[in-house]
Structures are given as C-alpha cells and as structure tokens.
Amino acid sequence: MNYSLEPIGVVHSCFSEKFAIPRQPQLAPAATGTLELFAPYNQPEALAGLEQVSHLWLLFIFHAAESGPKHLRVRPPRLGGNQRIGVFASRATHRPNPLGQSVVKLESIVDGKLLLSGIDLLDGTPVLDIKPYVPYADSLPHARNDLAPAPPAPIAVTWSPLARTQAEQQGARLHSDLLSLIEQCLAQDPKPAYQQPAPTREYGARFWDLNVRWHYPNPDSIRVIDIQLANPLA
C-alpha cells in the first residue's frame, strides 16, 4: 500500500549544512528558523489557537539523508560510531522512511510564518505536519532510554579575540544571537566520536551565510578560530 504525502511548508534554518547540527532539538536553544507554510495552510484559520501553545512537534522529511540501501542496523554517532543497534532503536536519519520528528519552541507567528527556536533541522527541510506539544501526554518523567540516558556532556568552547568580535558583528547584522548559537552547537562536539584531532587540525561548518572554523587545542575543548562570509551555495 502506498501513501502520498505533501509538505505543508519548509523550514528556513540557521543550519546551512548537516555538520554541527545538534543531534536532537532543544540542545541549542539559540538555534532558530522560520517555518514558511504553503497555501492554504498559511492562512489564519489553520493557525488559530497556536498562540496558546509554547512548543510544537514537527514531522518532517530528512530530505538530505544519504540515499542507498537501507540497513536493519545502524551505528549512531551518539554511541561512538562503532556500536550497531537496530534502526528502530535509533533516531538515525537513514531509515526505512526518511521521517523525522522534533519538538521545537514556537516563539511567534508573523504573517503566516512560524518563528521557531531550539531546532535541529537543516535549511530547506520539508515539513509534513505540525502538532501541538501536549505536556501531560508527551512528557513522561519515568520513561527510560538506556542508550541515551542523558544529554551529551557539553565540552568547553573558547574564542580567539578575532572570532568573538566577528561573532558579535555578524550576529548584529543577522539580528541573531550568533555567539550563543555557535557555543551551544560546538559544545555538542560535532566531530565523529572516534576521531582524535591533532591540535593543528581545523574543522568548519556553515551557520546562516557564515563559515565558522575551529580546532581542538586539547581533546576536551574547542577554540573558535574565525568566522567568514561564505560563498553563496550553488
């Protein structure tokens, strides 16, 4: 049996590439984006009542997940990338149907667009549905997940004086708390868990229209080197 699903909107996000996106929502509260709804869902009738809701479930498509054969077992980065578990025990993007779900904060609604924070979504993510978060049903204090018992411990993030100034200047241009965004995302340690980076090795990721470069002076901390305007994406 086949079902056909049509996106109801698309997310415009601070994350212009997959690397350095937190592995779950809420890990970077400063991660923001806008959900642009397609007609007719951008009309006030479809959104009436949402002003009474603080958080939303977004059901979306992992549109940039790697294609290729689907496997029954996956190696989640969270477990160091070397332990295999069943695909249904993981939140991996590479799964039978490329469906994702995230709880995000609804900051406001402006002209039929939803302003969101705490997102873990790549720019351009197609959204299939929105549902209000229902605390009494969706928050289960006694629920257990021994594969992911707690959020990953953050690592220290420090700044070169140049990078800090650039973050402040670019943040002002973008009207965004860029400093917190970068700190919160890099504190999740985006590099693969199995890598032991030499202090001279540089890493980079793109946030908004900016390339952010950093290195690991020691394995437990990150130092942001600089922030430059990126070339437009092809």
Does the footprint of ligand SAM cover residue 188 (CB under 6 A)?
no
Say if CB 122 and CB 15 are below 8 A apart: yes
Number of neighbours of residue 202 by Cβ within 10 angstroms: 12
Give the 3-state DSSP-derived string for 115-145, with helices as H, strands as E and coil as C: EEECCCCECCCEEEEEEECCHHHHCCCCCCC
Give the C-alpha distances (Å, rounded to integers) separating 144 from 7, 27, 89, 175, 234: 32, 19, 13, 39, 43
Closest separation between CB of residue 231 and ligand SAM, Å? 21
Does the footprint of ligand SAM cover residue 94 (CB under 6 A)?
no
Among 65, 85, 225, 230, binds ligand SAM (CB under 6 A): 65
Does the footprint of ligand SAM cover residue 14 (CB under 6 A)?
no
Number of residues counted as binding ligand SAM (CB under 6 A): 18
Does the footprint of ligand SAM cover residue 125 (CB under 6 A)?
yes
Does the footprint of ligand SAM cover residue 116 (CB under 6 A)?
no
Does the footprint of ligand SAM cover residue 63 (CB under 6 A)?
yes
Does the footprint of ligand SAM cover residue 25 (CB under 6 A)?
yes
H or E element in which residue 84 lies: none
Does the footprint of ligand SAM cover residue 5 (CB under 6 A)?
no
Does the footprint of ligand SAM cover residue 101 (CB under 6 A)?
yes
Does the footprint of ligand SAM cover residue 91 (CB under 6 A)?
yes
Contacts of 58 (CB under 8 A, 6+ apart): 11, 35, 100, 101, 102, 103, 104, 121, 127, 129, 130
Closest separation between CB of residue 221 and ligand SAM, Å? 21
* Count, residues in the chain: 234
Stretch that binds ligand SAM, among 117-125, 129-137, 179-187, 226-234 (CB under 6 A): 117-125
H or E element in which residue 110 lies: strand 99-110
Q: Under the rule (CB under 6 A), what is the footprint of ligand SAM?
A: 18, 21, 23-25, 62-65, 91, 93, 100-102, 120-122, 125
